[in-house]
Amino acid sequence: MLDLQPICDIIAVKGCKFPRVIYMDDLIIIPCQLGTSAHRKVVLGFAPAKLLSALSFADVLDEETGRGYQRRFNEKHSLDFRRYIQQPNSSTIPLTFNLRPHPEGGWKLREGAPGNAILEIFPAVGKVMVRVDCQHRLGYLDDVDVSLPFMSFLGLDEREEMEIFSIINSKAKGLSNSLLDYHDASLAADLGKDRPELFIALQLNSNTESPWCRQLDLGGKSTSGTMRRASLRTMQKAVKRFLTQSRLLRTQTPEIAAETVISFWAAVATVLPEAWNSPRAYLINKGIGVYALMTIAADLFCENRNRPCDKKYYVGKLSEFLSDLDWSRTGPMKGLGGQGGVSSVVAMVRQARSKRAFKVVARG
């Protein structure tokens, strides 16, 4: 058993109250309490905010690489907490971290008498603590010396971190549904079987043949300048509408269904290139347009059942009527929203198609 008395003696000589952080040349020592949070081993301690900030990082989802899992940083939220925590009588619940396994060590826990431990951190290795639930509280505290309580898990991997983060924050204000969906996708054993609509939506965002490639907002950090057109949640709900109406999965795999949906959207981008390339001026790739067009996709699929529904088929069909509608934000669809608005747009599209078909028959 580790004898913690020498550490206590050092603190006593310096006139500090236990527990306090000890700074050495290449080592930081934080006396802690050791216990469990439900079924996970954790340490509890206290440290200056600026130290916790220097030793930790938030693993924000990078939408380009797919690494990370947390929401994008909210500056206002963080600045509000910075102002609050420096006021008299302020306080906060413990910050939650994870000490991830590190190839160079980075940290070591030395257990003493039951319930006591010393956390040793080697700052030269870099940031070894992940901000599981304190991203915004610590965001702007890198120069604030106020003491804060913290709890840290010990050695969770990224997947385990994500599971805990999702449980803690699933009802949190400001955490996007799309980011929670992305977590579900990352944690699912068989996404195509369990949530085919989410599987297909993610294929739309990752497949280079898709006009939506890297265009869906996943709720994380995106490349500067990229124009996001719709959220992952919007797309998966629209895909679910398509799957329900078309009943495609009764006979085809989720992979084939994804190819069909990608072909449809590639056809939309081909038939309406101006509208597709100007997402801020047109509605085809915003919520109401996405829902409505997925309904039309199901119409066309059902009419062509048991035959290939590829891009060529969809282009041929859509070119007959889709450009007859005004998809601009200032046109007849302006102000429409909700399920009622979607139903109105679907009715407009179907009417435009019926008129074009009637004209063709009349000419014949």
CA-nearest of 125, 129, 138, 3 to 56 is 129
Say what the pLDDT of residue 224 is: 40
Q: Examine the pLDDT at 61 and tell me if it is beyond 90.
A: no
Cα–Cα distance measured from residue 87 to residue 68, given in angstroms and rounded to the nearest whole number: 33
Say what the pLDDT of residue 225 is: 40
Say what the pLDDT of residue 221 is: 61
- 77 confidence band (pLDDT: 50, 70, 90): confident
Q: Examine the pLDDT at 222 and tell me if it is beyond 90.
A: no
- 183 confidence band (pLDDT: 50, 70, 90): low
Say what the pLDDT of residue 30 is: 94
Choice between 109 and 169, residue whose per-residue pLDDT is larger: 109
Q: Examine the pLDDT at 8 and tell me if it is beyond 50.
A: no
Among 59-73, 186-200, 216-230, 323-337, the minimum mean pLDDT is found in 216-230
Match 């934000």 to its residue by tokens. 329
Say what the pLDDT of residue 354 is: 86
CA-nearest of 190, 286, 289, 290 to 240 is 290
Q: Examine the pLDDT at 3 and tell me if it is beyond 50.
A: no
pLDDT, tens digit, for every residue of 309-331? 899 999 999 999 999 999 999 99
Q: Examine the pLDDT at 336 and tell me if it is beyond 90.
A: no
Say what the pLDDT of residue 210 is: 94
Strand boundaries in the chain, DSSP class E? 22-23, 28-37, 40-48, 56-57, 95-99, 107-111, 116-121, 129-133, 147-154, 216-217, 230-231
Q: Examine the pLDDT at 356 and tell me if it is beyond 80.
A: no
Choice between 153 and 169, residue whose per-residue pLDDT is larger: 153
pLDDT, tens digit, for every residue of 31-50? 999 999 999 999 999 999 99
Cα–Cα distance measured from residue 50 to residue 55, given in angstroms and rounded to the nearest whole number: 9
Say what the pLDDT of residue 363 is: 54
pTM (2 decimals)?
0.61
Mean pLDDT on 290-317: 91
pLDDT, tens digit, for every residue of 225-249? 445 578 888 999 999 999 999 999 9
Choice between 3 and 277, residue whose per-residue pLDDT is larger: 277
- 240-244 long-range contacts (CB < 8 A, ≥24 apart) are 240/197, 241/291, 241/294, 241/295, 241/298, 242/294, 242/295, 242/297, 242/298, 242/301, 243/196, 243/197, 243/200
Say what the pLDDT of residue 294 is: 95
Residues composing the chain = 364
* Backbone region of residue 44 per phi and psi (left: phi > 0; alpha: psi in -120 to 50; beta: other values): beta
pLDDT, tens digit, for every residue of 12-23? 334 444 457 888
**Phi, psi at 159, each rounded to 5°:** -65, -45
DSSP element (H, E) containing 58 = none
- 258 confidence band (pLDDT: 50, 70, 90): very high
Q: Examine the pLDDT at 51 and tell me if it is beyond 80.
A: yes
Say what the pLDDT of residue 227 is: 55
Q: Examine the pLDDT at 24 and tell me if it is beyond 80.
A: yes
Mean pLDDT on 134-158: 93
Say what the pLDDT of residue 212 is: 93
- 180 confidence band (pLDDT: 50, 70, 90): low
Chain-wide mean pLDDT for the chain? 84
